[in-house]
Amino acid sequence: MTGVVVADLGRAGLGNLLFPWLRSAEISYQSGRTLLPPRWMQLRLGPYIRREADRREYFRLFPRPPFDIARARNRAIAGARADPEPADWRHFAGEVLVTRGMRDHFHSFELPWDWHRAFLLDAVRPGVVSPGIRTSYLAMHIRLGDFRPPESGVQRLAADNTSTSISWFLEQLRSIRASFPDLRCVVASDGSDDQLAPILEEPNVDRSPGRNAIDDLLVLASSAGLVGSRSTFSAWGAFLGDAPMLVQEGGNRYTPNEKVFETSNRAPEEFLRLVRQRVER
């Protein structure tokens, strides 16, 4: 099969953008189509207005393509702007195939998580990914930022873009620590130290050493277990490491793997068992 494939990215966060980009990478690998790099240069005012530490300047994480490749990419997207992404690329005979949006999330992928992780590591600029943490640890992804706060007393997440309460994360941390009292906890979050104070004041808890969004994502993926938000970023952390993840009731919106557990109480025994396997690995 000949032709090209390219992802048409929008202005969303990295978790959302990885879906069309990695679909295009899969299609290229399986079909022989030439993969054109997506356009990462997008202006996002929200992170500046909210004074977030991560300004979502994703173009800094990936190499800039040569001018002729970038021009071919822009022409391909413009020429196929009105064409819908085919339900099955194998039945698409056009010259330019453009992937868009989150589609069916992780159900859209045919290749395993470790292929996607290797592709991502190969695609970033040198120095974007740090050496990582050498010992076992628990990871938390506490999404605040542009998410609306949860309603007081609500035990189940029922809508997208809603944060999970800090008190729930604290309860899960203490529950897990009952089984793993010495396990370090690393927190990746767009929240401030003041917002995260109840978590950060617990013993042996630190903010993530990740240098950027990709680095934080791999910090989550490499953990013994992940306590996450109803967020595509949390889901990608679980997917890229095939890691067990714990979320609040209603928080498994994206189903990155079969090791996601919902709870509004203590951490389930099966989650703790999978964490122990990874700690002892």
- Of 52-66, 69-83, 101-115, least confident by mean pLDDT is 52-66
Count Cβ atoms below 10 Å from residue 151 Cβ, excluding itself: 9
Q: Which residues pair with 188 in a beta bridge?
A: 141
- Of 39-48, 59-68, 103-112, 162-171, least confident by mean pLDDT is 39-48
Amino acid at 55: R
Is 226 in contact with 143 (CB distance < 8 Å)? no
Is 126 in contact with 199 (CB distance < 8 Å)? no
**pLDDT for res 151:** 75
In this predicted model, which residue has the larger pLDDT, 41 or 250? Answer: 250
Q: What is the pTM of this model?
A: 0.92
Q: Cα 229 to the chain's mean position, in Å? A: 11
Q: Which residues pair with 200 in a beta bridge?
A: none
Amino acid at 157: L
Ranges assigned E (strand) in the chain: 4-7, 34-35, 96-99, 137-142, 184-189, 205-207, 225-227, 245-248, 260-263
State pLDDT tens for residues 15-36: 999 999 999 999 999 999 999 9
The residues near 118 (Cβ < 8 Å, ≥ 6 apart) are none
Distance separating alpha carbons of residues 226 and 178, to the nearest angstrom: 16
The arithmetic mean of pLDDT across residues 261-271, rounded, is 95
Distance separating alpha carbons of residues 78 and 199, to the nearest angstrom: 47
Distance separating alpha carbons of residues 27 and 93, to the nearest angstrom: 13
Distance separating alpha carbons of residues 48 and 258, to the nearest angstrom: 36
**pLDDT for res 46:** 52
The arithmetic mean of pLDDT across residues 142-146, rounded, is 88
The residues near 128 (Cβ < 8 Å, ≥ 6 apart) are 61, 211, 212, 214, 215
Domain 137-280 falls in which CATH fold? Rossmann fold (3.40.50)
**pLDDT for res 44:** 53
For helices 213-221 and 14-31, angle between their N-to-C axes, nearest 10 degrees? 80
Task: Please check the confidence at residue 145 and state whether its pLDDT lies above 60.
Answer: yes
In the predicted model, what is the mean pLDDT of the chain?
91
Q: Cα 109 to the chain's mean position, in Å? A: 15
Provide the residue ranges of all domains of the chain, joining segments of one domain with +: 4-123, 137-280
State pLDDT tens for residues 90-119: 988 889 999 999 999 999 999 999 999 999
**What letter would DSSP give residue 36?**
P
